[in-house]
Amino acid sequence: MTEVRSAAPDVAAIRARYSSLQQGFAFLDAPGGSQVPDEVGEAIAAALREASANLGARYATSQRAGAILEQAERAAARFLGCGPHEVLFGANMTSLNFVLSRTAAREFAPGDEILVSSLDHDGGVAPWLELAHDKGLTVRHVELHDDTTLDFADLERKLGPRTRVVAFAWASNAVGTVTDAARVCRLAHEAGALAWIDAVHYAAHEPIDVRAAGADVLLCSPYKFCGPHLGLAYGRAEVLAGWRPYKARPTPAVPLARGFATGTQPYELLAGFSATAGYLDSLGGLAALAPYERALGQRFLDGLPDSVTVYGLPSMAGRVPTFLINVAGVPADEVAQRLADDQIGVWAHDSWYSLNLYRRLYDGKSVRVGFIHYNTADEVDRLLAALTGMSPG
């Protein structure tokens, strides 16, 4: 069995920062939302106590709210590799995607095409389908290879003069497969299209540099990487400057991205987001944490019994540590319940909101397992022992 390397982070010290991890329950459900360190909750509570106001007033609480927003924009810019004026916040990724996709499509014409990946979560597909319905657009799915990796030959075949957007998931929320984002963005730009990235799952495990990737728009969700429930997006300044946002007319247009806000920002959650960014920085960032997470994933794969089927890529190459599995002869719901009884948290579901993916892999339901940096080798071993001992009946 693969051992976690000695250069691993001090996981005991990390876990001490989480009240939720002190009860012995193994949270192996990070793809559905991570646990949150206490300092993030404390920042949220402090903002509610000390900055419960809106922007623009001369008194202290309003000025604190303004400072919270500016700090969150700077933290997001560092996290994404962009400028603070290119950062947008919203209720969640899906809401932001509906807003931004509709804004981008103001000038689209009937017959224009949107390409989406067959690996995608529906939060990255449904906004374009609704636009297609309203405006007479065409949405086309780029196919996958049998191993769930993107078929770049099919992407190149489907790109054309009417392609306006290529939207894709950087990493699958279901099977963990990673797509070569820079390659997709380059092909999109060569066709004159926008490159539009759903980084919700990728952002939880790997560092992001939107400039290096070539993204025009990128969206993610801090609750996947130990933060509050919030949506976060990047819009390339040259792209945002050419759009007319849907907004209330007095909304400020400076800094640039604030002009796309649809109402009052959740300042307490923004304070929590800045605390999340500070927490990750204190651990060396995702680049420092990723090798440990990958070692946990390999440990899991190496120890699986023959009764367990893993869908998608068979090794850690080309993936993040998220796994879709089934146990022979044991329904997925029963697997999840037995593991919960053993104080191990995983989910059972049918589509995982990846509607163009799951019917290719299995019928019915599957179990999703996901590791993040606060998980331990012992927790992986507990899961493997439970799966090994699981039999029908």
Cα–Cα distance, 142 to 155 (Å, whole number) = 6
Q: What are phi and psi of 120, to 5 degrees?
A: -75, 150
pLDDT of residue 4: 42
Per-residue pLDDT tens digits of the chain, which is 393 residues long: 444 444 679 999 999 999 999 999 999 999 999 999 999 999 999 999 999 999 989 999 999 999 999 999 999 999 999 999 999 999 999 999 999 999 999 999 999 999 999 999 999 999 999 999 999 999 999 999 999 999 999 999 999 999 999 999 999 999 999 999 999 999 999 999 999 999 999 999 999 999 999 999 999 999 999 999 999 999 999 999 999 999 888 777 789 999 998 889 999 999 999 999 999 999 999 999 999 999 999 999 999 999 999 999 999 999 999 999 999 999 999 999 999 999 999 999 999 999 999 888 998 999 999 999 999 999 999 999 999 999 886
Query: What CATH topology corresponds to 41-281?
Result: Aspartate Aminotransferase; domain 2 (3.40.640)
pLDDT of residue 144: 97
Query: Looking at residue 22, what DSSP letter applies?
Result: S
DSSP line for 46-103: HHHHH--S-TT-SSHHHHHHHHHHHHHHHHHHHHHTS-GGGEEEES-HHHHHHHHHHH
Question: Scanning the structure block, which residue is given the tokens 């792209």?
Answer: 239
The gap between the terminal CA atoms of the chain, to the nearest Å, is: 29
Q: What is the CA radius of gyration of the chain?
A: 21
Compute CA distances 344 → 9, 27, 164, 338, whole Å. Answer: 22, 6, 44, 9
Interhelix angle for 60-80 vs 267-282, to 10°? 40
pLDDT of residue 365: 97
Residues 369, 28: contact at Cβ < 8 Å? yes
Handedness of CA 313, 316, 322, 326 (dihedral sign): positive
- Run of H or E residues at 293: helix 285-303
Residues of the chain with CATH 3.90.1150.10: 11-32+285-388
- Class of the CATH domain delimited by 11-32+285-388: alpha beta
Cα–Cα distance, 177 to 175 (Å, whole number) = 6
Buried b (16+ CB within 10 A) or exposed e, 21-33: beeeebbbbbbbe
Cα–Cα distance, 157 to 22 (Å, whole number) = 52
Cα–Cα distance, 217 to 179 (Å, whole number) = 16
Question: Scanning the structure block, which residue is given the tokens 């009052």?
Answer: 264
Q: Which two tokens stand for residue 111?
A: 């017959």
In the three-class reduction of DSSP (H, G, I as helix; E, B as strand; rest coil), residue 197 is classed as strand
